[in-house]
Amino acid sequence: MNKKALGNILFWITLVSPCLSFSIACMIGEADIFGVVGIIRYSWVMLLFIPIGVLSILIGFELKNSKEKYKKNFIISFISLPLLVIFGSYRFIFNNVISYDISEISIIEDEIHFDIPDDIKVATNKMSLYNISYVKIISRESKDVFEHEIESNQLWQEDLAPELKGFLPLDIQYESDIFDYFLFFNITSNEYNIPPLSGQYECIFIAYDCDLQRLIILYNCTIKKA
């Protein structure tokens, strides 16, 4: 293969590398379940495409020495490489605020007095006002057992009361419409699914989606009602 043809191939691969690598991170990170934190978990995949951009620069030098067109290889590499480095490093940049540890689920189980399956994948976003964990049940058997338990347990509601929904962060309010079961636990008053009276309360909110076999858990959350 001559240098010009190789230069063209590397140019096009370098051009699509940010979008392609991001799409791969979305796919294996299961963005439909874990959202942005799932993508960040596998953002390092983008770093694997860096050698392609480097090769594009090297072949650009070869083309320059051969008096052939080379600038496009330089330009696209200098655009793509920083994107790959920056976004590919998100896994390490946000290491302190994003966790994939399942141990915190045990603490939540103790609080709500209800077991969550052991066969799970977890991604937690630790925000300033609250934490959000996205949980996927990865075993079909565990999924069936869990759904049978919540169907027969009065703590889980099929509808989220508007009074309770209003206490949730806006992004959780919008997303809650696609879930099937809900549990709201007021830790301070030790009450389930009851809108709090005036005061300040710590609460846990859990929603479950049967189709995607996923839970969203809001905790370390303090709500205030005048």
Reply yes or no on whether the pLDDT at 166 is more than 90: no
Reply yes or no on whether the pLDDT at 226 is more than 70: no
Reply yes or no on whether the pLDDT at 172 is more than 90: no
Reply yes or no on whether the pLDDT at 146 is more than 90: yes
CA distance 14 to 10: 6
Q: What is the mean pLDDT of residues 142-171?
A: 89
Find out whether 24 and 31 touch, Cβ atoms under 8 Å. Answer: no
DSSP secondary structure code for residue 179 in this structure: -
* pLDDT, position 61: 85
Quick: pLDDT tens for 48-90. 999 999 998 888 888 777 777 778 888 999 999 999 999 999 9
Tell which residue, 73, 9, 13, 81, has the closest CA to residue 47.
81
Reply yes or no on whether the pLDDT at 97 is more than 70: yes
* pLDDT, position 63: 78
Tell which residue, 148, 131, 140, has the closest CA to residue 222.
131
- The mean of the pLDDT values for the chain is 89
Phi, psi of 6 (to 5 degrees): -65, -40
* pLDDT, position 175: 82
Domain boundaries, the chain: 3-93, 98-225
CA distance 147 to 137: 11
How large is the angle between the packed helices 3-28 and 31-41, nearest 10 degrees? 120
Reply yes or no on whether the pLDDT at 163 is more than 70: yes
CA distance 223 to 108: 17
pLDDT over 70 for what percent of the chain? 99
Q: If pLDDT is split at 50, 70 and 90, which confidence band does 144 have?
A: very high
Radius of gyration of the chain (CA): 24
Q: If pLDDT is split at 50, 70 and 90, which confidence band does 28 have?
A: very high
Q: What residue type is 107 in one-letter code?
A: I
Reply yes or no on whether the pLDDT at 198 is more than 80: no
In sequence order, what E strands does 148-190 have?
181-186
Q: What residue type is 225 in one-letter code?
A: K
* pLDDT, position 181: 94
* 211 three-state secondary structure: coil
Reply yes or no on whether the pLDDT at 5 is more than 70: yes
* 201 three-state secondary structure: strand
Q: What is the mean pLDDT of residues 86-107?
A: 90
The pair of three-digit structure tokens given for residue 113, joined into one six-digit string = 């007095």
CA distance 106 to 120: 12
